[in-house]
Amino acid sequence: MVVFTSGILLILALFIPLSMLQDSRPQRVQKTVRTKTVASRCTDFSPPHAPVGSYDCQVRRPGTHNEMQACWLVCPASMDTRPNTETRLLYRCHNGKWKLVKDPELHCVAKTPVNLVAQQMASPELLNSLLHSYLNHSYGYLAMASIFDRGDVELPGFHKYMMGMWEKSMSKARDVMSYINKRGGWIDLLELPRTSQSEKMHVALAEGHVGLAAMTTALAMEREAQELIMQIMDRVDRRSVDDPHLLHVLEDQHLSYKVQVIKELADHITQLQAFDASDDGDYELGEYQMDNTLQ
């Protein structure tokens, strides 16, 4: 009996410390697995639509967070890509959508000369730049003319004058187009930028000098066009292909007109500034008198 009791006590003595040792072992800590947020992939890329020609697109950095698509405009054989300095669109995958990040406004330009009448014209590109200038300025004159026809302005003389300037600009633009066709060149009608003449006239209207502001703006536009004509003449004169006829047309039909209209606008500005600088401050009366003269 004593031996049996001693055996039981021995077993308990060995079992209890072993169980306590197991309970005292540090528990294994479960590691938290962090899942990386995978950026949403973009859907299959569809090349943009081109009114003329087609786009050839290539993927850049595929499978990365900075995946891109570069698209080149491929024009027909008889056309050139404009602008020729940057000839691709660039798209980037952003939040599952393709986003346009570079848009040089590519377009195809027909540059096929008329061989039957082509006469080695020095540079059709330069004449197209002059054409664009006339069309852009006619846009500005039309915007200013609309201000003078408003009910809270009602200056019919200034309205008539600015409409006349618009008609002259359009007439000069048609002359340039006719001359390009006569010499067998090509016509490149560019997109006209937005004009800020309307906003300038509204500011001047609030300040009470809308007539003076219109004449000053017109003078700046005509000086800009005159400088362009002189630059074109200088570049034509330095070309390897002599073109005395083009130089004569630019000087006789365009530069002479600019000299005349700049003098006319300067006279109007001088008269309005004289009214503004008078002791009586009768600018509005002077503007009214000039409006009657311009009708």
Return the structure tokens found at 282.
Answer: 């009768």
- In our burial notation (b when 16+ CB lie closer than 10 A, e otherwise), range 277-290 reads eeeeeebeebbeeb
pLDDT at 78: 77
pLDDT of residue 37: 47
What tokens were used for 208? Answer: 């009470």
Judged against a pLDDT cut of 80, whether residue 41 lies above it is answered with no
Does the pLDDT at position 254 exceed 90? yes
Judgement on whether residues 67 and 196 belong to the same structural domain of the protein: no
Say yes or no: 163 and 131 in one domain.
yes
Clarify whether residues 179 and 233 are in a common domain.
Answer: yes
Nearest Cα neighbor of 200 from 190, 191, 210 is 210
* 148 and 74 belong to one structural domain: no
Q: What DSSP designation does 110 have?
A: E
Model confidence at 85, in pLDDT bands (50, 70, 90)?
Answer: low
Domain that residue 91 falls in: 54-110
Does the residue 10 lie in any domain? no
Residue 144's Cβ-count burial label (10 Å; 0-12, 13-18, 19+) is buried
Using 50, 70 and 90 to split pLDDT, how confident is the model at 278? Answer: low
Are 163 and 217 part of one and the same domain? yes
Assigned domain for 35 exists: no
Look at residue 36 in the predicted model and tell me its pLDDT: 47
Same domain for 258 and 153, yes or no, is yes
If one counts the domains in the chain, the total is 2
Residues 105 and 143 in one domain: no
According to the model, what pLDDT value does residue 105 have? 76
In a domain, 119, yes or no: no
Asked if residue 178 is part of any domain, the answer here is: yes
Residue 30, in any domain of the structure: no
Residue whose C-alpha is closest to residue 123's, from 254, 252, 255, 231: 231
CA atoms within 13 A on the CB side of 29: 4
pLDDT higher for 29 or 239?
A: 239
Structural tokens at position 270: 């001088």
72 and 130 part of one domain:
no
Average pLDDT (232-256) is: 88
Higher pLDDT, 33 or 67: 67
Rounded CA separation 86/119 (Å) = 31
pLDDT in tens, 60-84: 888 777 788 888 888 888 787 877 6
**What are the structure tokens assigned to 253, written together?**
């039909």
Q: Is residue 273 part of a domain?
A: yes
Average pLDDT of every residue of the chain: 82
DSSP state of 195: P
Q: Is 185 in the same domain as 66?
A: no
Distances (CA, A) of 14 to 18, 66, 91, 133: 7, 66, 75, 106
22 in a structural domain: no
131 plus 236 within the same structural domain? yes
Q: Which range is least confidently modeled, 18-32, 104-118, 217-231, 269-283?
A: 18-32
Q: Coil, strand or helix: which one is 27? A: coil
Residue 200 domain-assigned (yes or no): yes
Q: Are 168 and 220 in contact (CB under 8 A)?
A: no
Q: Which of 95-104, 127-136, 217-226, 265-274 has the lowest mean pLDDT?
A: 95-104
CATH of the domain at 229: 1.20.1260.10
What CA–CA distance (Å, rounded) separates 164 from 160? 6
Q: Are residues 88 and 187 in the same domain?
A: no
Same domain for 106 and 130: no
Of 5-19, 101-115, 181-195, which range is least confident? 5-19
The identity of residue 157, as a single letter, is G
- Looking at residue 31, its pLDDT comes to 54
Q: Is the backbone of residue 184 left (phi > 0), alpha (psi -120 to 50) or beta?
A: left
The pLDDT value recorded for residue 35 is 47
pLDDT in tens, 206-237: 788 899 999 999 999 999 999 999 999 998 88
Residues 133-137, mean pLDDT to the nearest whole number: 94
- Which pLDDT score, from 0 to 100, does residue 267 have? 95
3-state secondary structure of 89: strand
